Amino acid sequence: MSEYQHHWKDGTPVHLPLGKIVCIGRNYAEHARELNNPVPDEPLLFIKPATAAVHITRPLDFPRARGEVHFETELAVLIGRPLSNASASDVEGAILGYGLALDLTLRELQSKLKEKGQPWERAKAFDGACPLSPFVAADKLPKGDLHFTLDIDGQRQQTGDSRDMLNPIVPLIVHMSSQFTLLPGDVVLTGTPKGVGPLVSGQTLSLELEDVLFVETTVV
């Protein structure tokens, strides 16, 4: 059972349970192109269970016997109010905080599942598949577009900006809430920019959000 608990940047706990992690695939056009995937006509949604969440600052461990595990750095949104068939103003009022996440993916397995037209969960929802950072309260971040980066061993690997999302944050969550209810403590992952790749033992990953949040982790 996962021991994950939401925390704020200062280390204090967020007293909300994590129920589910709702994700979108191919929300950056350049990332879709780098994997030779078509850009979907509507948001491509999938869910990771709470058991996929781990604290990002702990060394990354994953099922190596099942093939390469790729990193995908994403902006994470912490939901603070129930959302069902929500309006844009409902969503804006329900965003409690922002953080960073790694959407870890068994890439070879995912490719096989896609070829068969099967769901991705086996490649995306394994234990430890969603390292999450602490969160920053929404009112502590700049209004408008948010910028984040991933460096691996000191070299820039991914650069993301919410202005480049095919489905911007608020309309994306509006759409999600029309498909299923989001509850306080749920997390929304908003897609990854180009630059994904395999994790290798000994790597150090450094993630930053708007010069406000910085986290670092290693691959065991």
106-145 pLDDT tens trace: 999 999 999 999 999 999 999 999 999 999 999 999 888 9
Report the distance separating Cα 171 and Cα 35, nearest Å: 25
Q: Please report the pLDDT score of residue 204 as a whole number.
A: 98
Cβ(4)–Cβ(55) below 8 Å: yes
Cβ(95)–Cβ(80) below 8 Å: yes
Report the distance separating Cα 188 and Cα 116, nearest Å: 27
CATH number assigned to the domain covering 20-218: 3.90.850.10
Specify the residue for token string 């010069």: 211
| DSSP per residue, 9-48 | TTSPBP-----EEEEEES-SHHHHHHTT-PPPSS-EEEEE
Judged against a pLDDT cut of 90, whether residue 31 lies above it is answered with no
**pLDDT over 90 for what percent of the chain?**
87
Q: Please report the pLDDT score of residue 144 as a whole number.
A: 87
- What average pLDDT does this structure show over 202-210? 97
pTM: 0.95
- C-alpha torsion 139→27→167→90, nearest 10: -50
Amino acid 160 reads G
pLDDT confidence tier of residue 62, bands split at 50, 70 and 90 = confident
| DSSP designation for 59 | P
Report CA 77 to chain centroid distance, whole Å: 8
User: Which residues, 6 or more positions from 83, have their beta carbon under 8 angstroms from its beta carbon?
Assistant: 90, 91, 94, 173, 176, 177, 181, 182
Classify residue 134 by burial, with Cβ atoms within 10 Å: 0-12, 13-18, 19+: buried
**CA torsion sign, 61 to 7 to 120 to 197?**
negative
User: Which residues, 6 or more positions from 173, have their beta carbon under 8 angstroms from its beta carbon?
Assistant: 77, 79, 83, 86, 91, 94, 95, 182, 188
Domain ranges of the chain: 20-218
pLDDT confidence tier of residue 32, bands split at 50, 70 and 90 = low
Cβ(189)–Cβ(169) below 8 Å: no
Judged against a pLDDT cut of 80, whether residue 36 lies above it is answered with no
pLDDT confidence tier of residue 6, bands split at 50, 70 and 90 = very high
Report the distance separating Cα 66 and Cα 63, nearest Å: 6
- What average pLDDT does this structure show over 159-173? 96
Specify the residue for token string 């910028």: 147
Judged against a pLDDT cut of 70, whether residue 171 lies above it is answered with yes
Look at 7-21, 31-45, 178-192, 200-214 and tell me which has the smallest mean pLDDT.
31-45
pLDDT confidence tier of residue 1, bands split at 50, 70 and 90 = very low
